[in-house]
Amino acid sequence: MTKIEKLLSGAPQTVFTIDDLAVLWNMPDRPRLARGVNYYVRTGRLHSVHKGVYALKEDYSLHEAAIKIFPPAYISFTTALGLHGAYFQYERNIHTMAQASKTITLKNGQTFVYHQLKDMVLLNQEGVEKTDGFWLASLERAICDTSYLVPSFAFEHVERADPGKLLALAAIYDNQALITRIRELCVVIEEIRSEEASVA
């Protein structure tokens, strides 16, 4: 079985860092690993996504790539809100939470926007779940991240959010202003649900 066949048969992800390949191929010898990776890129069996990050196919998961390029990170902000059906404005950029703020644009034109979070928040896994090969903020975590980044953000379509989870997650940021905003949003959510219940 070739190294590429091992990736196709045994790995659930579509994007691999050089460290991933070292483990999957059991190849701790870095110069030898680099030669192997370069060979597979030259022959078109691996595609270079970004420095030290590779994909099996050109139609790899962009969300997975965003996380692999600048870890630790997870998909959040308007990208996660959109995936949860709570944000409908078209936005090509993919937003993630990370240890530093930066923007990376790939050679295919895709832009990843990384937003800085304090480590005590970023590394807290509450409300962050692994899905389809990448880490994704839950609806409630995405709401908290968004309100933390943009205090004036006007939320829409968040009535499915769980007020209890929102309040619990807001506490991890150690930011009283955020907690106050989330409490106010919870009141709005409860009012929307009451109105919907009375109409039903």
Query: Are 123 and 43 part of one and the same domain?
Result: no
Number of domains in the chain: 2
Domain-terminating residue out of 31, 55, 79: 55
Q: Give kind and range of the element (H or E) at residue 112.
A: strand 111-116
| 46-53 LR contacts (CB < 8 Å, sep 24+) | 46/4, 49/15, 49/106, 50/104, 50/106, 52/17, 52/18, 53/15, 53/16, 53/17, 53/18
Q: Where are the beta strands (DSSP E) in 21-65?
A: 47-50, 53-55
At residue 8, the pLDDT reads 59
Query: Are 41 and 128 part of one and the same domain?
Result: no
- Look up tokens 């990170």; give the residue: 73
Domain-terminating residue out of 22, 40, 55: 55
Q: What is the pLDDT along the chain (200 residues), one digit of tens a residue?
A: 576 666 656 667 889 999 989 988 888 999 999 999 999 999 988 999 999 999 988 889 999 999 999 999 999 999 999 999 999 998 899 999 999 999 999 999 999 999 999 999 999 999 999 988 899 999 999 999 999 999 999 998 899 999 999 999 999 999 999 999 999 999 999 998 887 777 76
What residue numbers bound the domain in which 15 lies?
Answer: 3-55
Written as six digits, the tokens of 34 are 């680099």
At residue 182, the pLDDT reads 98
At residue 15, the pLDDT reads 92
Domain-terminating residue out of 22, 38, 55: 55
At residue 14, the pLDDT reads 86
